[in-house]
Amino acid sequence: MRITRMLGAAALLFGLTVTPAVADASPSPSASGDDSAPTSAGTSFRTATEVDQGQRATASASTGDYLYWSFPADAGQRPTVRATVKLPATHAAQTWQVDVYDGLRRRQSCQYGAQTRTAEQGSATVELACVLRTVRAWSEPWANDPLPGTYYIRLTALNLTTADLGQPVNASVRVGSKDIGGSAAVDGSLAKPLVPGIAVSSQSDSEDGDTSKAAVLSSIEPDGGWTSGWWSDRWVWTGIGAVLAALAGIGGYALTRGSGRPSRVPPGA
C-alpha cells in the first residue's frame, strides 16, 4: 500500500510538471489582422523591413527586384518562413527562391520545404517555404549553426526573360516558429545575440552611458526579450529524474528492511 501511494504521487508530479513543457512546444500564436504589419520590403540587408514572428508582411514590387525582411529568432526555436507571390496575368515560366541569412549574413540551409519553385506560364501564384534548423544558444566559431539574433529573408526571381522584367507582383511573407525545448539545449550561451549594431551599442553605453549614440541597426526582439538559452525544459526533466530516483530509493528500502522484528527469538529472552 505504501509503495502504491508513492508511485501515485510520482505519477501526479510527473503529469503536473510535463504539462507546461508540452504547452511550450506548440507553435507560436498567429497574429493575423495586425494593423502594424509591414506593407513594404527593403532592397538590401541594411534596409530590410523588420517583421515580428506571427505577422504577415506584404509588399508590392516588380519582377527582378530583391525583397528583404528581417525577423528575430531565439535559442530553442525552429523558424519556418513562408512566402507567397502573386504573379501578373500573363508571364512566362518563372523560378522564385527564398533565402534566409543569419545576423552574420551567413546563408542558412533549410531542413525541408520548397525553397525554390517554378511557376509555369499563366500561373497565378507561387508558394515557397523554408524550415530552418533549430537555433542554438551557442556554437563553435567554425560552425555554421543558427544562433540567436536577427535573421534576413531574401525573396527574388531567378533567370527571368526580358519580357517579364519589371512586371508588377505582390509578395507576402510570414514567419512562425516551434519551440523545440530541452532536446536542443546546449551548455553555453552567447554574450550578445547576433543583432547588427548591438556590439556598437554596448560599447557606447559602457564608455559614456549615452544611449542616444547607440547605432543598433535592428530594434526587434522576441516576446519577453532574449533568453540566450538560460532556461530549457531540460531542468524540468532533471527534476523529475531526481524525484523518481528518490522515490525508488525509498521504495527499495521499504521492501528490503523487513518487518523490523527478528525472525527467531533467542532462548531465555
Q: What is the pLDDT of residues 140-156, one digit of tens each?
A: 878 888 999 999 999 99
- Cβ–Cβ under 8 Å, residues 132 and 75: no
Mean pLDDT of the chain: 78
Q: What is the pLDDT of residues 178-225, one digit of tens each?
A: 888 666 666 667 778 888 876 555 444 545 555 444 444 566 777 777
Give the three cell numbers for residue 59: 509588399
Q: What is the pLDDT of residues 165-180, one digit of tens each?
A: 999 999 999 999 988 8
| pLDDT attached to residue 250 | 87
How large a percentage of the chain has pLDDT more than 90? 43
- Cβ–Cβ under 8 Å, residues 149 and 75: no
Q: Cα 219–223–227 angle (5° rounding)?
A: 90
| pLDDT attached to residue 28 | 36
- 134 domain residue, yes or no: yes
CATH code at position 74? 2.60.120.380
- 269 domain residue, yes or no: no
- 141 domain residue, yes or no: yes
Q: What is the pLDDT of residues 16-25, one digit of tens each?
A: 443 333 333 3
Band of pLDDT at residue 258, cut at 50, 70 and 90: low
Of 17-31, 84-98, 231-245, the least confident: 17-31
Q: What is the pLDDT of residues 22-43, one digit of tens each?
A: 333 333 333 344 568 899 999 9
Cα 17 vs. chain centroid, distance in angstroms?
23
Residues 44-62 have a mean pLDDT of 94
How large a percentage of the chain has pLDDT more than 70? 68
Q: What span, in angstroms and rounded, lies between the C-alpha atoms of 38 and 35?
A: 8
Residue 83 has pLDDT above 50, yes or no: yes
Phi, psi (degrees; rounded to nearest 5) at 40:
-150, 165
Cα within 13 Å of Cα(94), Cβ side:
30
- 223 domain residue, yes or no: yes
pLDDT greater at residue 150 or residue 267 = 150
pLDDT greater at residue 4 or residue 132 = 132
Q: How many domains does the chain have?
A: 1
88 is in which domain, residue-wise?
15-237
| pLDDT attached to residue 21 | 37
Residue 78 has pLDDT above 80, yes or no: yes
- 87 domain residue, yes or no: yes
- 196 domain residue, yes or no: yes
- 133 domain residue, yes or no: yes
- 262 domain residue, yes or no: no
Band of pLDDT at residue 229, cut at 50, 70 and 90: very low
Q: Which long-range contacts (CB under 8 A, 24 or more apart) does 52-57 make?
A: 52/220, 53/28, 53/79, 53/175, 53/176, 53/177, 53/222, 54/28, 54/29, 54/30, 54/174, 54/175, 54/176, 55/31, 55/174, 55/175, 56/31, 56/32, 56/172, 56/173, 56/174, 57/172, 57/173, 57/174
| pLDDT attached to residue 40 | 94
Band of pLDDT at residue 259, cut at 50, 70 and 90: low
pLDDT greater at residue 30 or residue 90 = 90
